[in-house]
Amino acid sequence: MENKIFTEPVLKNTESLGFFEMIQPPEDISEHGHLIDYLFNYTTVMNIFFFFLVCIGIFGFSYLYHRKRHPKPYYTYGNKKTHITVATVIGIAVFLGIDLNITRLSNNDYTGIFINWPDESKEDVVKVQVLAQQWAWNFRQAGADGIFNTQDDVVTLNDLRVPAGKKVVFQILSKDVIHSLYFPNARRKTDAIPGRMTRMWIQFNKPGNYDIACAEMCGTYHYRMAAKLTVYEEEDFNHWLAEAHQIYNSVNDPEDPNIYWGWKWNSTSSNKKLGMN
């Protein structure tokens, strides 16, 4: 008897994909995901170049200096001036050619964009609080009053809806163990840690439905701690949000302590100057 219990989903037809289509990362739906892709590709090109040199060394020398073709070895300690120079130049070339370049690129992206928090007092950003638990994602957006942790908040389970073209700021906590909020389509993840708030901001650009996953091992059902991300056109989002405000205002029971897992929004603009994360 074939056991089918673990293969729940209907699998997409992947037969038609070529090899290079198969190994493409998920579609980039964010404003800045291409920076990460660019850095990845840049590193790849440099790596291929240097690994090609290594391969020339291994295979070329193995062929040329096989004992049959080259019975008399060249007796040297490799301590001649030219030898030392060549080895040093290779070391420095790798460092300057790849390492310093990718460090500079990565550092610029990191400080210029990924931790350059939008100024919430000036910019219109979408604020989302995320509470991870075994094994689900709770998302909270403020109600019509704009204040978090009140009765009219839009609180969803494994269902995140955001508008396209606006910066979305996440504040992330975990209830029990460490999780990691992972948007494969935006090339980003940030850990959800109990007792220590982490933040992330992303600007999504392409409307549609996408996957959210948990990237950090969090227990037996880690593999299905999945959530859905819906990116709306801004208009649709406002429409949905207005409707959701009304619905949640009547659905949420103000006496129920369980709905108050949120917290006071911790504005990023206030501690940006401190260099905090």
Residues 62-101 that bind another protein (CB under 8 A): 62, 65-67, 70-79, 83-84, 86-88, 90-95, 98-100
Helical (H) or strand (E) element with 37: helix 33-55
Q: List, in order, residues 6 or more apart from 101 with CB less than 8 Å away.
A: 42, 46
The CB-of-90 to another protein minimum distance in angstroms stands at 4
Cis amide bond preceding 135, omega within 30: yes
Which of positions 98-117 make contact with another protein (CB under 8 A)? 98-100, 102-103, 105-107, 109-111, 114-115
CB closer to another protein out of 163 and 184 = 184
Question: Contact between 273 and another protein (CB under 8 A)?
Answer: no
Q: List, in order, residues 6 or more apart from 139 with CB less than 8 Å away.
A: 128, 129, 130, 155, 156, 157, 159, 160, 227
The CB-of-236 to another protein minimum distance in angstroms stands at 21
The CB-of-100 to another protein minimum distance in angstroms stands at 7
Give the residue from 97, 124, 266 showing the smallest Cα distance to 196: 266
The number of residues that bind another protein (CB under 8 A) is 110
CB 152 within 8 A of CB 248: yes
CB closer to another protein out of 133 and 252 = 133
Q: At what angle do helices 33-55 and 101-109 cross, to 10 degrees?
A: 170
The CB-of-245 to another protein minimum distance in angstroms stands at 28
Which of positions 153-172 make contact with another protein (CB under 8 A)? none
- 34: tokens are 């291409």
Question: Contact between 4 and another protein (CB under 8 A)?
Answer: yes
Question: Contact between 173 and another protein (CB under 8 A)?
Answer: yes
Which of positions 211-230 make contact with another protein (CB under 8 A)? 211, 213-224, 226
CB 260 within 8 A of CB 140: no
The CB-of-254 to another protein minimum distance in angstroms stands at 22
Question: Among residues 121, 122, 195, 273, which is the contact residue for another protein, using CB under 8 A?
Answer: 195
CA atoms within 13 A on the CB side of 105: 17
